[in-house]
Structure 1
Amino acid sequence: MAKQGKKYQEAKKLVDSLKQYDVKEAIDLVKKTATAKFDETVEAHIKLGVDSRHADQQVRGAIVLPHGTGRTAKVLVFAKGEKATAAENAGADYVGADDMVTKIQTENWFDFDVVVATPDMMGVVGKLGRVLGPKGLMPNPKSGTVTFDVERAVKEIKAGKVEYRLDKTNIIHVPIGKASFDEDKLTDNFKTLMDAIVKAKPAAAKGQYLRSVTLTSTMGPGIKVNPARVTE
């Protein structure tokens, strides 16, 4: 495994695995431990005190990070007529309807990061539920990807909109930028994300909501952030 290489071991020495760092310290460490030859993505992993199996304890939404993610997402839009034209004008990478369904089904084509659909196209998109669902690519009204305002949806995604949602182990994984970002930009993006997740706390959640918060770069070690300090 590449993660256990010499650079990873050296980076790991800089991190106290038992310590919970302040946000500023953690971000500083993430940058120092991102030693790969490419510009690593900085990711936040947030474990919540909820049970994602219950509908009333779901945590899901989307936000535009103030400084973007450092990469421009490729967007596929399912729309027809005027809405298809609007999506193209807004900068969508691919726009179509049944033709896109066929392309995905027959070519196993997934050269896109986000799928947007107008509500009237969800019957068409539904045919792809089995392949898009497991990849987390199914459009959803809660994340703003099922909408008639395709122009706005595409522009927000291109500007750095990210979706946050619980996985089966009640953890949210979200990119918050690149290791090349300065500390202030990473801090802004991280706090914007944490504010949104704290505000999204379900009424049914009991006990400690933020169980653990970890920052890591693509190839670097995990750095624990003190959950009590993340929104200060």
Structure 2
Amino acid sequence: MALPSRYCPSCLASIRSTTTSSTNFALRSPAIFRFQSPFQQHQQKRNANQSANALKYRRKDQPASQKKKKARTTYLQPDLKKAIQFSLVDAMRYLKAAEVGRQPTSSKYELHIRLRTPKNGAVVRNRMQLPHPIKTDLRICVICPPESKEAKAALAAGASVVGEESVFEAVKDGRTDFDRCICHTDSLPKLAKSGVARILGPRGLMPSAKTNTVVKDVTATVRELVGASEYRERLGVVRMGVGQLGFTPEEMQRNVRAFVERVRKDIAGLSDRISKDVHEVVLSSTNGPGLSLNGEFRGEGSVSSSDLSVVN
């Protein structure tokens, strides 16, 4: 059958090539044509944008050195096998050399007891009276009726301020001229209503039964505070002054031994709640470094005790 004259073979060949090229173009690129629905056009654009954003903001794996590590539950402890440790006499010798030219009463020895302990839990906190107390000008306030026999006994024991309303008014006026404050149990209701807790609390002076500063026998407490020293565990270390620069090595040995034994007793009292143990004992002075002690009183080649007993 002959084709009409208007369909010449050359025209048919051109139509065939055009159709084939259009089909290949449609297969190669996801072009959006006008006859497609608006939903299909929006979906194609959205998929293209998501693919571009995924390539742009693709997360890279962090190296092992930069990955977040788990938080430690205990404090770091130095390896004592690699540490330089001293006997008590040698440590006192080097610390006295760091305090040359200072008055024996102006510088003090301080003992640091490092504990093996978890970060969270109960802490060691107490006060004690050393065999050789450090002379301090501790000002003690006793809240009790001013005309009572407890007030007179507290003043005789060494209290600086005694009273109730007069003490409350002085605190409200900003005059807290004392370092410790204890309260008689009968005066506790007046103390609670006075409104001085917001002033004494932030300064650590508010009496409470938890800190053994609300007592019946204020006289015995005042006598204990006058010659006693307080200590508290902070960041796994218990610190307290154990002597003045003029103390002899024998006096320092008694104080150090008493303090370490007292801390061990406090640890034993917390054994049912938390696991603690003494790891290291360090002796320092007001202006000197901290020297780790090896537990010995005198080492080989140490100076005699009489040489360290001479006042600078």
TM-score range, shorter chain: 0.7 to 0.9
Give the Cα–Cα distance (whole angstroms) in 2 for the partners of residues 145 and 187 of structure 1: 30
Q: Does residue 1:179 correspond to 2:245, yes or no?
A: yes
Q: Does residue 1:196 correspond to 2:262, yes or no?
A: yes
Give the Cα–Cα distance (whole angstroms) in 1 for the partners of residues 138 and 296 of structure 2: 27
Q: Does residue 1:92 correspond to 2:148, yes or no?
A: no
Change (3 A) 1:19 1:121: farther
Give the Cα–Cα distance (whole angstroms) in 2 for the partners of residues 113 and 52 of structure 1: 30
Residue 71 of structure 1 corresponds to which residue in structure 2?
136
Give the alignment's TM-score, normalised by structure 2. 0.58
What stretches of structure 2 of length at least 5 have no aligned partner?
A: 1-81, 298-312
Paired AA for residue 97 in structure 1: E
Give the Cα–Cα distance (whole angstroms) in 2 for the partners of residues 205 and 27 of structure 1: 34
Contact 1:51–1:58 (CA under 8 A) maintained in structure 2:
no
Percent of matched pairs sharing the same residue: 27
Give the Cα–Cα distance (whole angstroms) in 1 for the partners of residues 202 and 118 of structure 2: 19
Residue 98 of structure 2 corresponds to which residue in structure 1?
33
Residue 173 of structure 2 corresponds to which residue in structure 1?
106
Q: Which of 82, 86, 111 pairs up with 1:44?
A: 111
Give the Cα–Cα distance (whole angstroms) in 1 for the partners of residues 178 and 282 of structure 2: 27
SS state at 1:26 partner? helix
Pairwise CA distance, 1:210: 1.8
Give the Cα–Cα distance (whole angstroms) in 1 for the partners of residues 205 and 241 of structure 2: 16
Paired AA for residue 89 in structure 1: A
SS state at 1:200 partner? helix
Q: Which of 135, 150, 155 pairs up with 2:218?
A: 150
Q: Does residue 1:214 correspond to 2:282, yes or no?
A: yes
Residue 162 of structure 1 corresponds to which residue in structure 2?
229
Pairwise CA distance, 1:19: 1.5
SS state at 1:212 partner? strand
Number of corresponding residues:
207
Contact 1:41–1:218 (CA under 8 A) maintained in structure 2:
yes
Contact 1:143–1:163 (CA under 8 A) maintained in structure 2:
no
Paired AA for residue 37 in structure 1: R
SS state at 1:175 partner? strand
Paired AA for residue 180 in structure 2: V
Pairwise CA distance, 1:146: 2.5
Which has the larger Rg? 2
SS state at 1:166 partner? strand
Q: Which of 87, 97, 108 pairs up with 1:22?
A: 87
Q: Deviations over 1:110-138 (max 9, x none)?
A: 43222222233344555444444444434
Q: Does residue 1:115 correspond to 2:181, yes or no?
A: yes
Contact 2:141–2:182 (CA under 8 A) maintained in structure 1:
yes
Give the alignment's TM-score, normalised by structure 1. 0.75
Give the Cα–Cα distance (whole angstroms) in 2 for the partners of residues 142 and 188 of structure 1: 29
Segment drifting more, 64-73 vs 118-127? 118-127
Paired AA for residue 23 in structure 1: L
Paired AA for residue 196 in structure 1: R
Contact 1:116–1:139 (CA under 8 A) maintained in structure 2:
yes
Pairwise CA distance, 1:52: 6.8
What stretches of structure 1 of length at least 5 have no aligned partner?
A: 1-16
SS state at 1:120 partner? helix
Q: Which of 292, 299, 302 pairs up with 1:224?
A: 292
